[in-house]
């Protein structure tokens, strides 16, 4: 990942503006929160971005300079950009044109930040990034500030019209990406959802992946991905779910950034009762 100096300058300004506005930028998740996860064909939809913890988040307005991709994908409609007004929350607006499983995706350009040692070490521990902790210790950097560039990779799965259990999530080509290997709208509460984590379109093993239920956010499920990048979560609660993971690498040489991190999230809803059962095949 090459970060040109003009981009770095802007990224630092953006990060500073977040702090000034009271919006946390690291050790917090970014997710997509649509106006509805269950939508009828032809209906309008607001696509909101939120940053925070355990579904308590601040709005993130649309900023074209930070958007790498902001798209909707479906079997019938392919992949198309999500429109929106600059500087406005919701960040995107669209109209659902077809039925089936819809994939919303937002991928950001990198933003730079410098963190004090204590805060950086704390968030490494919170996000399961022990390999970076060990590397910093080996280099005698545990007590040093950390200069980082972070990118966000958020997805949401929506259901429009009759549920077709054979329709699944798919990769959109984000740097770090969570892919649901079953249609969550074809599941009942208590069933298992297999999820795969990809880094640069390749399975990422050993990464901490966390599932959070909006109804019971303190009861998190945390699993390390296997050699194929896979985990499985038992969805014991109906309602909205957030699955998340963070991956960090050493930043390429040639900049003053030490670390590059990628934050992936996936949101969807497990509907109530009969609406969560398959309606097609």
Question: In this structure, is residue 213 part of a structural domain?
Answer: yes
Question: In this structure, is residue 246 part of a structural domain?
Answer: yes
Question: Smallest Cα–Cα separation from 129: which of 118, 140, 138, 120?
Answer: 120
Domain count, the chain: 1
Whether the predicted pLDDT of 152 surpasses 50:
yes
Residue 56, pLDDT score: 93
Q: Average pLDDT, whole number, for the chain?
A: 89
Mean pLDDT of all residues in 161-181: 95
pTM recorded for the entire structure:
0.88
Residue 199, pLDDT score: 98
Whether the predicted pLDDT of 142 surpasses 90:
yes
Question: In this structure, is residue 104 part of a structural domain?
Answer: yes
Full residue range of the structural domain in which residue 129 is found: 5-276
Whether the predicted pLDDT of 241 surpasses 90:
yes
Residue 273, pLDDT score: 63
Task: Express the helix, strand and coil content of the chain in percent, nearest 5 each.
Answer: 15, 45, 40
Question: In this structure, is residue 66 part of a structural domain?
Answer: yes
Mean pLDDT of all residues in 263-277: 77
Whether the predicted pLDDT of 97 surpasses 90:
no
Question: In this structure, is residue 281 part of a structural domain?
Answer: no
Is 24 or 198 the better-scoring residue by pLDDT? 198
Asked if 186 and 159 touch (Cβ cutoff 8 Å), the reply is no
Task: Please give the C-alpha separations between residue 155 and each of 25, 110, 259, in angstroms, as whole numbers.
Answer: 18, 17, 24
């Amino acid at each position: 990942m090459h970060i040109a100096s003009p981009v770095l300058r802007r990224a630092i300004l953006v990060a500073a503006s977040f702090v000034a506005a009271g919006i946390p930028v690291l050790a917090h998740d970014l997710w997509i929160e649509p106006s509805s996860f269950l939508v009828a064909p032809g209906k309008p939809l607001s696509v909101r971005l939120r940053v925070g913890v355990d579904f308590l988040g601040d709005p993130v307005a649309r900023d074209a300079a930070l958007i790498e991709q902001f798209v909707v994908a479906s079997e019938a409609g392919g992949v198309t950009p999500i429109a929106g007004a600059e500087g406005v929350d919701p960040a995107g607006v669209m109209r659902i044109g077809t039925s089936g499983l819809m994939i919303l995706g937002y991928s950001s350009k990198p933003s730079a930040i410098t963190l004090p040692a204590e805060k950086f070490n704390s968030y490494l521990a919170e996000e399961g990034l022990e390999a970076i902790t060990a590397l910093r210790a080996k280099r005698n950097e545990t007590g040093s500030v950390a200069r980082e560039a972070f990118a966000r990779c958020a997805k949401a799965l929506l259901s429009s019209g009759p549920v077709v259990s054979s329709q699944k999530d798919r990769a959109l080509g984000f740097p770090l990406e969570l892919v649901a290997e079953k249609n969550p709208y074809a599941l009942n509460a208590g069933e298992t959802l297999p999820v795969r984590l990809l880094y640069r379109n390749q399975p990422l093993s050993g990464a901490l992946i966390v599932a959070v239920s909006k109804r019971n956010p303190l009861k998190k499920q945390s699993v390390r991905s296997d050699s194929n990048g896979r985990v499985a979560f038992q969805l014991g609660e109906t309602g909205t779910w957030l699955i998340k993971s963070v991956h960090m690498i050493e930043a390429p040489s040639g900049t003053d950034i030490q670390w590059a991190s990628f934050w992936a999230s996936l949101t969807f809803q497990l509907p109530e009762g009969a609406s969560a059962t398959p309606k097609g095949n």
